[in-house]
Amino acid sequence: MDGISLLTITVLAVFVGFEVVSKVSSTLHTPLMSGANAIHGIILVGAIIVAGQATHPWVLAVALLAVVLATANLVGGFVVTDRMLEMFRGRRGAAERPPEKPSAQGGAHEGESPERKGSVR
């Protein structure tokens, strides 16, 4: 993609980023920060690409370290955010619904699913 298109996308993303959080109450600051924190764990995609193209063992080692760190950011970020929000939900009549299965489900999938797909190859 050429530079100008990337620049356009970047500038538009800045405004979207400003817009989506501009009116949030302080109650949700922590979960929102934590959720945004999880989203930048998507650097995992970059780490996977670099690791997948590594030819030298040293490069591979460093790239795999990046994969481990990025996965921790991504998976841990979503799981911890979900745990925070689970508690918010609890106050709205826990009696109404039966307790759901452990919250971490959503996040834990992240790491596992590519694995399953991978083994098909």
Partner 1 sequence: MTLLDPTLTSLLYLAAAVFFILALKGLNSPRTARRGNLVGAFGALLAVVTVFFSVRLDNVPWILGAIAVGSGVAAPVARRVRMTQMPQLVALFNGVGGGAAALVALLELPHADDGWMRLAVVFTLLVGAVSFAGSAITFAKLQELMTTRPVVFPGLPVLMGAVLLAAVGSGAAVVLGGSLALALLLLVLGLLAGVLLVLPVGGADVPIVISLLNAFTGLAVAASGLVLGNVLLVVAGTLVGASGTILTRAMAAAMGRSVAGILFGAFRGNSTAGSTAVSDRPVRSSSAEDVAVLLGYAQRVIIVPGYGLAVAQGQHTAAELALALEARGIRVDFAIHPVAGRMPGHMNVLLAEANVPYESLKEMSEINSEFRTADVALVVGANDVVNPAAKTSAGSPIYGMPILEVADARQVVFLKRSLRPGFAGIENELMYEPQTTLLFGDAKESLTKVLGAVKAL
- Region 71-90 residues binding partner 1, contact defined as CB under 8 A: 71-90
Instruction: Measure the CA–CA gap between 10 and 17, rounded to whole angstroms.
Output: 10
Site string for partner 1, 37-66 (x = CB under 8 A): xxxxxxxxxxxxxxxxxxx---xx-xxxxx
Query: By CB under 8 A, is residue 115 in contact with partner 1?
Result: yes
Closest separation in Å from C-beta 54 to partner 1: 6
Q: Are 103 and 86 in contact (CB under 8 A)?
A: yes
Site string for partner 1, 90-109 (x = CB under 8 A): xxx-x-------xxx-xxxx
Residues 6+ apart with CB under 8 A from 47: 63, 66, 67, 69, 70
Closest separation in Å from C-beta 121 to partner 1: 6
Instruction: Measure the CA–CA gap between 71 and 61, rounded to whole angstroms.
Output: 15
Measured from the CB atom, is 15 or 98 closer to partner 1? Answer: 15
∠ CA 110-54-51, nearest 5°, is 10
Size of the site for partner 1 (CB under 8 A): 98
Query: By CB under 8 A, is residue 8 in contact with partner 1?
Result: no
